[in-house]
Structure 1
Amino acid sequence: MKVGYYPGCSLESTAEGYNEATINVLETLGVDLVEIDDWNCCGSTPAHQTDHLLALGLSARNLVQAEEQGLDKMTAPCAACYNHIKQVEVEFEEHPEEINNVLEKPYKGGVSVYNLIEILVDLVGIDTIESKVKKPLRGLKVAPFYGCLLTRPAKVTNFDHPTDPQSMDRLLEALGAEVVDWGSKTDCCGASYVLTATDIVLKHSGNILKDAKAAGADVISVACPLCQLNLDSRQTEIEKQIGRNLNMPILYITELLALSLGFSKGELDLEKRLVSPKSILKKKSVI
């Protein structure tokens, strides 16, 4: 299966480990990821707040690039990038000429955009993944965190339930993990307020971390570099605010997949986490 791959800015900087794990895992699962030629930033939050049409144009250009490579499927592992590019797919059906007017080359509408969980669950398939598990994550209690951009707005993403999704839950169960039932799985971590309004990030991320801890989770599984960054890098500040330790490792879903498929810890980028997962993973005999 050939799928266009849009790494986006984060996966080639702060989320290099996510990038490597995703490429290696999907290759193992029979997915040929083809990086989009000359891709550009999706526009991120600043562009979308400044000019909606030009922001759509930024994301649409990536679809044009994929189309020119003969690709009809595309995935963006960053939930924010996925959401922005998926919005182009939806809005292009309603007003294609308006979007093409801001593009150097016209988009024909031939690319379907998927988030990473969709690729794994719907295109690869739970049964296929389960059949390739070599080291089940037995005993590891995982809180699946979807964040706010994989499932909402529902009219754009059209993916799973907007407030109680189950796709990542089912995937983790197939890996042998014990999935934690908790109430914050689609909350916002504070997203890109990390530089402009840290208090918002500390409040939202703190609530998520406390909820996962109260539910008995050993680790939180994410599919977004913004969520991983906020939940990992802000824990020390959050712990000072609430007066207790949380020690909650934040792992990408493809890292957990890699471990269950038999990848060694040396093949993963676990050393760069501020909250190290190594102790709990050793305790649970995952590494």
Structure 2
Amino acid sequence: MVQIPPRWVSASGDAERPNVARLYDYYLGGAHNFAVDRAFAEQFTKLVPTAEMVQHTRSFLRRAVRVCVENGIRQFLDLGSGIPTAGNVHEVAQQADPTCRVVYVDNEPATVAHGRTMLRGNPSVAMVEADVRDPDAVLCSPEVRRLLDLSEPVGVLMVGILPYLSDDDRPAEVVARYRAAMAPGSHLVVSHLTADVQPELVEKLVAVVAEALTPVVARSRSDIEPVLAGFDLLEPGLVLATRWRGEGEASTGAETINYGAVGVKS
């Protein structure tokens, strides 16, 4: 595949304050971030091991995508994707099988603009501007209709997005609406922030994020389990994301603040 050099798009003044998607891009070694993001990221990392947390989550995503491809999945819907930066879904999936198709979804116009610019030239990948809380808008978008066949198994990724849904958003019901649209054999990939292991660290993380960015909600294992209703979990089930067919024991704390799971719709 031809690599297209990054081309900046207008952020309409968005460069004046930190942006969640661009922070993730910076932590992952991407080029689509601004000075304000880099300055905030460096200060944030002094308070909590954010870079390590983001990198571990991305490693989980890559492992899960590979498993999906091994299990026959050739189309992916990445909800709340942010900027499709280093180690993104389509790179991992298309490395395993070039026929894989991917649709990224984000609700922030500047993030979507960056993503669409980056993905230019790859007809098997697209980006939708929509809110994960509105499954109808996502699933009926022209990009999804063009690239994904929902009568066939699809990999739906909710990696790191569910903490941005409040309890009032009823995340389990949101996921259930996507599940209803997924064909049997489809895979759901989920990761979720938790304070079960490191409550003080996660409390600090949640407080800093709420003050400077978009508030997030940490949930316990028992809170996350209903989200996975209707899916048969692949081994080892709902575990710390780093331990999902992965990286082993914790050492800095960042490895213990996210659960991960992959489920199959029967």
TM-score range, shorter chain: 0.3 to 0.5
TM-score (norm 1): 0.33
Higher helix share: 1
Greater strand percent: which structure?
A: 2
Higher CA-based Rg: 1
Q: How high is the TM-score relative to the length of structure 2? A: 0.35
